[in-house]
Amino acid sequence: MTPPILPGQPYFAYRDNALFAEDVRISELTRSHGTPLFIYSKTAMLSALASYQRGFAGRDAQICYAMKANSSLAVLQVFARAGCGFDIVSGGELERVQAAGGDLKKVIFSGVGKTRLEMRQALGAGIGCFNVESEAELDVLSEVAASLKLRAPVSIRVNPNVDPKTHPYISTGLKGSKFGIAHEDALRIYQHAASLPGLEVVGIDCHIGSQITETTPYLDAVDRMLDLVAAIEAAGIFLKHIDFGGGLGINYSADDMPPEAESLWKQLLVKIDARGYGNKKLMVEPGRSLVGNAGICVTEVLYLKPGEQKNFCVIDAAMNDLPRPAMYQAFHAIVPTQRPAEEKAGITYDVVGPVCESGDWIGCDRLLSVAAGDQLAVMSAGAYCMSMASNYNTRGRAAEILVEGAEVHVIRLRETSASTFQNEKLLP
């Protein structure tokens, strides 16, 4: 019986019907560490990164891992040691980069709501660039930097106004989005930035959305951005770098066919070269495409609950561990960690968690042949799962394991219930 093609293959694959992460049998990990359990493949992360590195070979390029996708310290270490910078969106993320030993000069700070405190913290740390998202933020940043007798390196996030053709909650580069500034205001705002005493204009950036599986939105965004670079430089403001953001999608299912980072960037570079900007420093901020298919979440089937209209498969992972289905109706493949030796007829289930919400589903209408006590792997769980996990229903966050070959590292201990309320105070 041929096993199905899995997202995350070959780093997550069946050997004699048992699911492995690299050279480690999943059931051995859950025996020692319990469920729900996030399991990551370091080789999968480095291989995803290598695709970008090949795409930018021979260029002055900086890959800044968008750590909001997965900010676990050991994951940051993997990318820091491989030479990546980081795209951060809070003072908290900056502290994580520091704790993981990342190069602060390669940190860029995105986000629409940076506080003065975060600005001071990032200036003190000597980060590489602030990706500023509004005119008001430019004024405040200049004031904060000038008060410290510093000049903040800035890039302005511009909305190229192209449709990334993805879920509306993760489209960001369109008019009407809270992110960035409008394309038509860019030149005026760059001139304003260049006049402020506490700023040094160093670049321009955009980010059009996430889980983009087509090449056209990128090609359009590059054109729109390069038009602006030409206009800004014609006005006498030199830009050292162009940052094209993140957004490249992954194959959650066989229907998703995103381009490889390498081929996408080779195509985009042809355009960038043709327009004469190939010698600038080029930056990207990938998140999901570096980690999404480098992780899975393994869960145990607690109960099977047949019903008149629906059958439910109740598992021990929930929307607090895997929030993407509830938030974006996202699809994650769900497969057994041990496949039956003989093909068995399956039953269609909604796979749901124990949280008291009807929205707490992980997969709808999935054909499974399972029994209580079996384990299932929720695939493509490396991005925007643990980093978005919560303690809703006072559920401790899951443990995390990073595998490399046959080596196993526990990178996060399972949270105890007590630790979920350790900062709370009883009334006198």
From 117-125, 137-145, 193-201, 206-214, give the range in contact with ligand LLP by CB under 6 A. 206-214
Catalytic: which of 84, 297, 313, 356? Answer: 356
Query: Which positions ≥6 away from 401 have C-beta within 8 Å?
Result: 21, 29, 33, 37, 38, 39, 40, 408, 409, 410, 411
* Tokens, residue 312: 């439910």
76 binds ligand LLP (CB under 6 A): no
Place of tokens 């985009």: 268
Pick from 41, 155, 210, 320: which binds ligand LLP (CB under 6 A)?
A: 210
> Of 177-196, which residues contact ligand LLP (CB under 6 A)?
none
Query: How many residues lie near ligand LLP (CB under 6 A)?
Result: 20
Give least dist CB 284 to ligand LLP, A: 9
Taken as a whole, the chain contains a residue count of 428
Contact code string over 9-48 relative to ligand LLP, x by CB under 6 A: ----------------------------------------
Give least dist CB 43 to ligand LLP, A: 20
Give least dist CB 288 to ligand LLP, A: 4
Give least dist CB 127 to ligand LLP, A: 15
Whichever of 79 and 384 has its CB closer to ligand LLP, that residue is 384
User: Which amino acid is located at 66 in the chain?
Assistant: A
> Of 234-263, which residues contact ligand LLP (CB under 6 A)?
245-248
Whichever of 368 and 385 has its CB closer to ligand LLP, that residue is 385
Give least dist CB 130 to ligand LLP, A: 12
Whichever of 250 and 335 has its CB closer to ligand LLP, that residue is 250
Spatial contact of 382 and 292, defined as CB atoms under 8 Å apart: yes
Give least dist CB 355 to ligand LLP, A: 18
Whichever of 324 and 339 has its CB closer to ligand LLP, that residue is 324
Whichever of 284 and 368 has its CB closer to ligand LLP, that residue is 284
> Of 308-347, which residues contact ligand LLP (CB under 6 A)?
324, 328
> Of 275-294, which residues contact ligand LLP (CB under 6 A)?
285-289
384 binds ligand LLP (CB under 6 A): yes
207 binds ligand LLP (CB under 6 A): yes
> Among this protein's residues, is 84 annotated catalytic?
no
Give least dist CB 325 to ligand LLP, A: 10
Give least dist CB 169 to ligand LLP, A: 7
Contacts of 222-226 spanning 24+ positions with Cβ under 8 A: 222/268, 222/271, 222/272, 223/271, 224/160, 224/161, 224/162, 224/183, 225/158, 225/160, 226/271, 226/272, 226/275, 226/277
Pick from 6, 29, 145, 170: which binds ligand LLP (CB under 6 A)?
A: 170
Pick from 6, 48, 69, 225: which binds ligand LLP (CB under 6 A)?
A: 69
Q: Give the C-alpha separation, 186 to 355, whole Å.
A: 46
Whichever of 36 and 247 has its CB closer to ligand LLP, that residue is 247
110 binds ligand LLP (CB under 6 A): yes
* Tokens, residue 391: 């303690």
158 binds ligand LLP (CB under 6 A): no
Pick from 30, 85, 87, 395: which binds ligand LLP (CB under 6 A)?
A: 87
User: Which amino acid is located at 382 in the chain?
Assistant: G
Give least dist CB 90 to ligand LLP, A: 12
Q: Name the residues annotated as catalytic.
A: 356
Binding residues for ligand LLP, rule: CB under 6 A, are: 66, 69, 87, 110, 170, 207, 210-211, 245-248, 285-289, 324, 328, 384
